[in-house]
Amino acid sequence: MRRTEPFCWRGKRGGWRWRVGWDGDAAERSVSWLDWSGCRRCLRAAPWCCLTKAERRLVGSPRHICTVMRSHHCAAGYGFGHGPFTRRSVGAVARQTESDAIQADSHFRRSARELTFGGMAYQWAHFFRTGGGCWRWQMSRSMVCGFGVRDLEPGGSKPVPITSEMACAMRRFSPDGTQIAVLQRRWQSYNCFLRLGSRAGCAFGEPLAPLRFSADGQWLLVQHLKSSRAPGLWCRACI
Amino acid sequence: MVSRVHLKSGELTDWRELGPVDTIGVNSITGVAVSADEKSLRVFLTGGDLRALPGAGLAVR
């Protein structure tokens, strides 16, 4: 079964823990989220830092993560063994992740008021913020029922609710305020219509960061993160 | 690479290809900002000190 909802919860010592890719959906995409999870310089936070050891084992080889991410990070200006990927600074990253989530949540609540989207986005964000629970889960699901993003895959239709996670990474609102383009922490891009019941949206197989909507709201400029991030790694290899 | 996406059809077309003339030492393009008239771009790079070298300009194709 393919998990469609991003899932996160509070860690024991604060911060957020994100469950990602454990059911094999990373392998279904053309680009594994791990390859492009970015460092703190590239994206606000690196979610794999918040994974447990068991989850890390499930999503991939730790050696690969360390090699790629640490060399990338050293190149970004941190010394070897320093930066957010050391053991000591994992807590700092977790706090940053949490502050990102809270910031996105407050942003979303503000947006919800402005766009008369009601308390639904807030309810959903609240579910993630509080760590969730059965009754909250069911309530949130029912409240966002009918609102989702449809895949462009032929015959595929999977609703993806707007969550604080989606609003965290990169987001752009259309000029008329009816659409939002987001890049999830799991490096999936979505375009959503902020109107209940409207079934539309785009889901792309590669990480595309939304840059700007056109004035008429028909087009969206996006940045290919894959080609933007990769040259650095290749350059280092050449040197 | 910056592309345009048609939101109804999902059509993805290339718009601009951005990058430094000399990619050696450039770690990544961390951000792109586009002006409202889509005629001006601002590109954020990370790449140590190599950006300061003469001739290390930005190419827009």
Has residue A215 been placed in a domain? yes
Residue contact B29–A228, C-beta within 8 A: yes
Has residue A78 been placed in a domain? yes
φ, ψ of residue A31 in degrees (nearest 5): -120, 125
| CA dist., res. A119 & res. A116, Å (int) | 9
Strand blocks (E) in A11-148? 16-19
Residues A109, A19, single domain; the answer is no
How many structural domains compose chain A? Answer: 2
Chains A, B: CB pairs < 8 Å: 90
**A222 touches B at CB < 8 Å:** yes
Alpha-carbon distance A119 to nearest alpha carbon in chain B (angstroms): 26
CA-based end-to-end distance of chain B: 9
Q: Is the dihedral of CA A99, A105, A108, A109 positive or negative?
A: negative
> What integer pLDDT is reported at residue A73 of this predicted model?
37
Element spanning A9, H or E? strand A7-10
Has residue B11 been placed in a domain? no
Has residue A1 been placed in a domain? no
| CA dist., res. B56 & res. B60, Å (int) | 13
**A8 touches B at CB < 8 Å:** no
ipTM score: 0.75
Residues A84, A107, single domain; the answer is no
How many structural domains compose chain B? Answer: 1
Residues A118, A67, single domain; the answer is no
Residue contact A220–B4, C-beta within 8 A: yes
Element spanning A110, H or E? helix A90-114
pLDDT digits (tens, 9 = 90+) for B24-53: 666 667 778 888 888 887 777 766 444 444
pLDDT digits (tens, 9 = 90+) for A132-183: 433 333 333 323 222 333 333 333 333 344 554 444 456 777 777 677 777 7
Can you read off the two tokens belonging to residue A32? Answer: 């594994």
Considering only residues 96 to 125 of chain A, which have any Cβ-Cβ distance to chain B shorter than 8 Å? none
Residue of A nearest to B49 (CA): A77
Residues A42, A152, single domain; the answer is no
Supply the range of the domain harboring residue B41: 20-53
| CA dist., res. B13 & res. B6, Å (int) | 8
Does the pTM surpass 0.90? The reply is no
Contacts of B19 in chain A (CB under 8 A): 231
Alpha-carbon distance B1 to nearest alpha carbon in chain A (angstroms): 5
Supply the range of the domain harboring residue A123: 103-225
Has residue A96 been placed in a domain? no
